[in-house]
Amino acid sequence: MAYEHTPVSVTGKRAVVIGGTSGIGRAIALGFAAENADVIATSRDATRVANVTDEIRETGAETTEITCDVAERASVEALCEAAVEAFGGVDVLVNSFGGAARQSVLDVPENEWGRVMNTQLSGIYRATQVFAREMIGENGGEANGKPGGSIVEIGSLSTSLAIPELAAYTTAKGGLEAFTRVAARDCAPARVNAVRPGFTETPLTAETYAEGTHRHERIAERTAVGRLARPEEIVGAAIYLASDAASYTTGECITIDGGFAAGAFKE
Ligand SMILES: NC(=O)c1ccc[n+]([C@@H]2O[C@H](COP(=O)([O-])OP(=O)(O)OC[C@H]3O[C@@H](n4cnc5c(N)ncnc54)[C@H](OP(=O)(O)O)[C@@H]3O)[C@@H](O)[C@H]2O)c1
């Protein structure tokens, strides 16, 4: 039998990136558009959405402009409906939203804990549930004429590091990884995977890990690659997981950390 394999490609895929207006999500949205996918990049801020939508249009990709707050179910449902109206269906969802509230287990108040959980963790559940139902046809939708679709959750290396004063954030990201595994079972034939980035230079980390700071130097020193990641360096993993080349990959979490986790021991 002649050998054949499925290339890593998102050409023709219809993708939605929540948190696609900044940092890692914006890089993924523009990366998908550059690789011939149609892409909606969204978040809460209308100006940010307008700016990234213009950038996507410049690539020639189809898109539509819509804000979304993952803390609100109605907002996520409206996004899914808008994507189906614009593209006729959704093949890929990337969840790259959120921010890090720096508070220790001893200090984080109830309301802040609840706020982080409602966006970082429940937002993952909400968006995955709404879009998976569309992808596997429960809402009458279909992905590229066949059931399936791919959901990519952006987790964090913080799940295995216990970074000080990131109590709620780290707990939510740990929950995201457990959710990814159970969602892979429950949402099949849609595939659900996670990418676990290490320290990445984005607006989220611009201040905390700024070049010249003690933290920046410590991270670079421990990382095998010798520096923090650029957002563009997370895009390839998302493209792989979204592509049909990953047809047997689900419930998985891919770490992209430049060898940080491998660098604990230093002589
Ligand atoms: N940078 C890192 O070192 C790093 C490392 C590991 C994991 N991560 C993870 O990667 C993801 C992206 O982080 P980033 O560094 O790219 O941060 P970023 O540049 O601050 O981007 C975060 C994005 O999330 C959106 N967002 C925030 N709350 C939202 C909500 N309730 N509903 C919809 N969108 C929302 C923001 O837009 P609006 O404000 O307009 O809503 C923005 O587009 C996050 O999940 C983060 O935890 C980052």
Q: pLDDT tens, 60-73?
A: 999 999 999 999 99
Other Cβ atoms closer than 10 A to 105: 13
Q: Does 53 sit in the ligand 1 pocket, CB within 6 Å?
A: no
pLDDT band at 50 (very low <50, low <70, confident <90, very high): very high
Going from the Cα of 43 to the center of ligand 1, the distance in angstroms, rounded, reads 9
* pLDDT, mean over the chain: 94
Lowest mean pLDDT among 135-149, 215-229, 247-261: 135-149
Q: What is this structure's pTM?
A: 0.96
Whether the per-residue pLDDT at 15 is higher than 90: the answer is yes
Structure tokens at 188: 């099949």
pLDDT of residue 174 exceeding 70, the answer is yes
What confidence tens digit (pLDDT) does each residue in 123-133 have?
Answer: 999 999 999 99
Residues 6+ apart with CB under 8 A from 111: none
CA 87–ligand 1 middle distance (angstroms)? 25
Report which protein residue has its CA nearest ligand 1's atom 1: 200
* Domains of the chain by start residue, with CATH: 14-258 (3.40.50.720)
Nearest-atom number in ligand 1 for the CA of 200 is 3
Q: Is the CB of 196 under 6 A from ligand 1?
A: no
3-state secondary structure 137-162: CCCCCCECCECCCEEEEECCHHHHCC
Tokens 């720096």 -> residue: 102
> Is 248 noted as a catalytic residue in this protein?
no
For the chain, percent of residues with pLDDT exceeding 90: 85
Tokens linked to 207:
């201040």
Sorting pLDDT into bands at 50, 70 and 90, what band is 99?
A: confident
What string of DSSP letters covers 171-238? HHHHHHHHHHHHHHHHTTTSEEEEEEE-SB-STTTTTTT-TTSHHHHHHHHHSTTSSPBPTHHHHHHH
| Nearest atom (ligand 1) to Cα of 201 | 1
46 lines ligand 1 (CB under 6 A): no
Angle between helices 46-58 and 23-34 (to 10 degrees): 30
pLDDT band at 267 (very low <50, low <70, confident <90, very high): low
Is the per-residue pLDDT at 140 higher than 60?
no
Smallest CA-to-CA distance from 152 within 51, 37, 72, 235 is with 235
Do the Cβ atoms of 198 and 257 come closer than 8 Å?
Answer: yes
Return the pLDDT at 266: 62
> 191: which 2 tokens?
């595939």
Nearest to 208 by CA among 177, 164, 156: 164
CA pair distance 192, 194, nearest whole angstrom: 7
